[in-house]
């Protein structure tokens, strides 16, 4: 059995979406609230929300990463960032940072911040933020590979048949995913593997 990090793990088993949400809020992963719908858990999560949470989860040496304020990266990559009236000020540095750390892809020319995100997309972005490598050039279906990794890491309990990879992810599901991924990173070291003396074997 693989060793895992215990010392600073929260050690909490959240069994309701409200508690997952509270954990995400406590960790500071929530993006700036835009309107009263932000905590309606049964609403579809938008790409800008998922990206914002994934960026806020990103840690290097245990510290949150600084937002990239140079907007050239986002504007050079995406034609719809910083050029529309509905592009909030916070989006550009978040997208710049997501690009820098490979959380979002630079292979597309639009960001589509207000588009609903599928479950597979959300899982891939959050997993990248905690340094779970979701790339597999040999995988015939990247969504199946993401699901298999999520199952292995304890980020989901759903089988492939019930995972619904193309269905838009709800905020309550996103909060649960973010909470589980943060706990996984704490237990394992995530992006910053812990020294051997910090681990115990089950």
Band the pLDDT of 118: cuts 50, 70, 90. Answer: very high
From the list 133, 127, 103, the residue with the least C-alpha distance to 181 is: 127
pTM score: 0.81
- pLDDT, one tens digit per residue, over 165-194 is 999 999 889 988 988 898 888 777 788 776
Q: Looking at per-residue confidence, does 101 or 71 come out higher?
A: 101
Q: Does the pLDDT value for residue 5 go beyond 50?
A: no
Question: Which pLDDT value is given to residue 6?
Answer: 43
Q: Give residue 120's pLDDT.
A: 96
Report pLDDT for 63. Answer: 81
Helix axes 47-57, 119-129, angle to 10 degrees: 20
Looking at per-residue pLDDT, the higher value among 57 and 126 belongs to 126
pLDDT value at residue 136 = 80
The tokens for 61 are 């040496």
- The mean pLDDT of 60-70, rounded to a whole number, is 83
Q: What is the pLDDT of residues 24-45, one digit of tens each?
A: 666 666 655 555 555 577 889 9
Positive or negative CA dihedral for 104, 100, 131, 51? Answer: negative
Average pLDDT for 3-15: 41
User: Predicted confidence band at 14 (pLDDT cuts at 50, 70, 90)?
Assistant: very low
pLDDT value at position 23?
A: 60
- pLDDT per position as a tens digit, 120-161: 999 999 999 999 999 887 778 999 999 999 999 999 999 999
Calculate what percentage of the chain has a pLDDT beyond 90. 34
Give one DSSP letter per residue of 48-85, joined into a string: HHHHHHHHHH-EETTEEPPPP--THHHHHH-TTSSSST
Contacts 24+ apart (CB under 8 A), 33-38: 34/88
């Amino acid at each position: 059995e693989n060793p895992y990090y215990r010392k600073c793990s929260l050690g909490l088993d959240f069994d309701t979406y409200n508690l997952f949400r509270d954990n995400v809020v406590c960790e500071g992963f929530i993006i700036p609230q835009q309107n009263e719908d932000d905590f309606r858990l049964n609403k579809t999560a938008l790409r800008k929300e998922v990206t914002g949470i994934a960026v806020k989860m990103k840690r290097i040496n245990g510290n949150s990463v600084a937002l990239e304020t140079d907007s050239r990266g986002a504007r050079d990559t995406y034609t719809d960032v910083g050029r529309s009236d509905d592009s909030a000020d916070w989006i550009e540095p978040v997208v710049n940072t997501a690009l820098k750390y490979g959380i979002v892809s630079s292979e597309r020319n639009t960001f589509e911040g207000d588009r609903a995100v599928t479950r597979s997309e959300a899982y891939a972005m959050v997993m990248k933020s905690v340094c779970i490598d979701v790339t597999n050039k040999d995988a015939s279906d990247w969504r199946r590979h993401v699901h298999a990794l999520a199952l292995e890491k304890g980020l989901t309990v759903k089988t492939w048949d019930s995972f619904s990879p193309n269905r838009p992810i709800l905020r309550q599901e996103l909060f649960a995913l973010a909470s589980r991924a943060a706990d996984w990173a704490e237990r394992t070291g995530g992006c910053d593997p812990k020294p051997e003396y910090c681990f115990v074997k089950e």
